[in-house]
Amino acid sequence: MAGSARIAAYDPVMYVAAFVVSVGLMVVVTVVTRRPPARALPDFDTYLNRWSDVHEGYDARPTRVLRGWLTLMYRTARPIAVAGVLPDVLTAWAVWLALAVVALAAMGGLWALLGALLLVASGFGDGLDGAVAVLTDRASSWGYVLDSVADRITDGLFLVAAWAAGAPAWLTVVTGAAVALIEYLRARAGNAGATHVEVITVGERPQRIICCALAVGLAGLAPDRAIVLAGWSIAVLLALTVIGLAQLTLAVRRMLT
């Protein structure tokens, strides 16, 4: 059945009320916890040095795509950092947005299109919290752990949103298991001495965001074909994740043997 039919027994007013209340609470938390930076924010070059320090010494300067991404993060995060918004609060916003995506995807139609946009915003926010932490010199081991946990939660919520939009349940479950496995392998490999940043596969988080956003957005554009469109989007994600898992396994094996 299409995603919009999956919530036929629910009152849309419930979603609107929950949205308003939760947004209000998030805004209050954001304002109350504000902590303006004690020192002037670094320039971009210093930001790149700090980013390198918290990413195992990896130098982003020679990599055009990564440098461009970090430039975007720096410019976006700078006014947020000046305003004193804490990195952990931005992490919470990313999770909140992912929850909102699930509700909007389930409502179908134009709501699902809005959900696809919020899904991309949630994924963008995943990088924003780290950028603010680096800019304000608030990067910490706790923040690293919290961000990793939030990533896994939002990964799951994105797949739930794809199911709510129309993707088959079995496919989203299998894809979720594959995503969990690749991240578990990466984490265990890191504990064993492998370097995280050097292993970039075709099954990384950006691909998850793109495929899940397509699943939700396309289902919203064509509700009558939601099952096919959302299903194929998640099937592509599953294929990329499986290939990425094979890439990561081979790379980790080379590193650790």
Measured CA to CA, the distance from residue 138 to residue 254 in angstroms comes to: 34
Residues carrying an active site annotation: 151
